[in-house]
Amino acid sequence: MIALSLAEITEILHGELHLAGADTAETVVDGTVDTDSREMSEGSIFVAKPGETTDGHRFVGAAADAGAVLAIVEHPVDVAVSQIVVPDAVQALADLARAVVARVRDAGELRIVGITGSNGKTTTKNMLARILQEEGETVAPIRSYNNEVGAPLTMLRVTPQTRFLVSEFGAAGLGSIARLAGLVEPDLAVVLMVGLAHAGGFGGIEATALAKSELVQAARIGGTAVLNTDDPRVWGMREIAVEREQDVVGFGQAAQAQVRAEDIRVSADGTGCTVVAGGERIRLRLQVLGAHHVSNALAAIAAARVLGVPVAVAAARLETLEIAERWRMQPMGGDRVRIINDAYNASPDSMAAALRTLAQITAPGERTVAVLGAMSELGEAAGEEHDRIGLLAVRLNIQRIVVVGPEARRLYLAAVGEGSWDSEAVHLPDQDAAFEYLRTELRDGDRVLVKSSNSVGLRHLGDRLGELFS
């Protein structure tokens, strides 16, 4: 974090300062900020966030022992460390992030990019960060820090030298993106797609579209909206952008896209396409698997282009990215059995894209195996969408469909009903049963996709299989 005195932080948070040791109101702190006492180091600031299963106030002592010099708390704790008492620690985290980013922006050249979408946020964030990091100091979220805690923690990593802040915004419900993006008012709003991910919590896909459009609404007047021309709901957000006097930059395969992809090809070695922009035609060869990553790459290239990075330079940097993120189309295993661990999360769109990729990259003589778990947070659409994925797997001629867990049983039944019988489709109760089945079922030449929502945890099964066959 930037250097601030205890008095300045107290004023920002409208809190009550309780000093400890030799500290005074003018004592300056500039360490990292976190809600996890295990992440503390010398000079850090600990935010004691109450949680569903535990209370951060219990760990103020551990944070101080690890080097924290300030705790932001909701009530004083009997620990020898300076504390600022606030009514709401999570709100205080947001208030501090807003103030810190505003000071850096006012004093320097900081440009802020916000990214949202039902799928692809983390991949696009990583791609854009890879492009921008060679232009100057770039701050981007670790993992999927995109909620009311993760987004402010990322913002608080900016320094006076930071040139680019890339923020990823997930939606916990209507208004959540507006609140998070409103902390920083991005210069660029990147909207990837509107799908059924989390649709159950929003009340349907139109409500999901409204939630995603909050990023465009929160972006700076006179900024830029980078929108997917291939998704009508996203492309329709250009009307909001025009109202806010924002430039509109389209990406996708449609003719109106300023950054367009042609000649997309997918193989076991990666994904290629021709990027067409500004009269240039640049061949792009991604190491990451799947045609769906082309759209993410186009979004990153389009945003980088707005920030002054030439398309050819952006494409060359993307070609060095080996994986999008751990557990996202991550190649594992070895020459005998190749595993694609894509079980960090799943929605109907990403599940379908992963299955199509599995079919595309499997050569004659190799066998396709899909290990599938449930897709969560789909609400009333859950049954129908699991049916659809089961049918798709059969129609793509996936040769072994291994369905794991009771919540995904309907996917299995749909596959059987479509004609995947005689052991082509199996349903197993849990990960351990699936591992024991697969360790004897898998054979040389198999390509195996492991895919489920994060809550199901099949990413750990993918790791076990990757280690077994490495």
What pLDDT sits at residue 195? Answer: 81
Q: With cut-offs at 50, 70 and 90, classify the pLDDT of residue 323.
A: confident
Amino acid at 246: Q
What pLDDT sits at residue 133? Answer: 97
Pair (37, 104) in one structural domain: no
Say which CATH number the domain at 295 has. Answer: 3.40.1190.10
Pair (347, 383) in one structural domain: yes
Residues 179-228 pLDDT 10s: 999 999 999 999 999 986 555 556 678 889 999 999 999 999 999 999 99
Domain membership of residue 67 (yes or no) is yes
**The last residue of a domain, from among 70, 86, 102:** 86
What pLDDT sits at residue 143? Answer: 73
Residues 92-113 pLDDT 10s: 999 999 999 999 999 989 999 9
Any idea how long the chain is? 470
Instruction: Tell me how far apart the alpha carbons of residues 60 and 39 are, in angstroms, rounded to a whole number.
Output: 12
SS3 (DSSP) at 390? helix
Which domain covers residue 308, as residue numbers? 92-318
Say which CATH number the domain at 44 has. Answer: 3.40.1390.10
Pair (298, 369) in one structural domain: no
Rg (alpha carbons) of the chain, rounded to whole number = 24
pTM comes to 0.88
Pair (20, 79) in one structural domain: yes
Q: With cut-offs at 50, 70 and 90, classify the pLDDT of residue 325.
A: confident
Pair (38, 182) in one structural domain: no
Pair (33, 169) in one structural domain: no
Q: How far apart are the first and last CA of the chain?
A: 41
Joined tokens for residue 5: 């005195």
CB proximity list for 394: less than 8 A, separation 6 or greater = 401, 415, 418, 419, 420, 425
Pair (335, 262) in one structural domain: no
Residues 137-192 pLDDT 10s: 999 998 778 899 999 999 999 999 999 999 999 887 889 999 999 999 999 999 99
Q: How would you classify the pairing of strands 224-228 and 188-191?
A: parallel
CB proximity list for 144: less than 8 A, separation 6 or greater = 121, 122, 150, 168, 170, 344
**Exposed, middle or buried, 119 (CB in 10 Å: 0-12/13-18/19+)?**
buried
Domain membership of residue 237 (yes or no) is yes
Pair (26, 134) in one structural domain: no
Pair (82, 111) in one structural domain: no
Q: How would you classify the pairing of strands 270-277 and 259-267?
A: antiparallel
Q: With cut-offs at 50, 70 and 90, classify the pLDDT of residue 51.
A: confident
Structural domain count, the chain: 3
Instruction: Tell me how far apart the alpha carbons of residues 327 and 323 are, in angstroms, rounded to a whole number.
Output: 9
SS3 (DSSP) at 72? strand
**63 and 49 in contact (C-beta within 8 Å)?**
no
Shortest CA distance to 415 belongs to which of 397, 436, 441, 433?
397
Instruction: Tell me how far apart the alpha carbons of residues 255 and 250 are, in angstroms, rounded to a whole number.
Output: 10
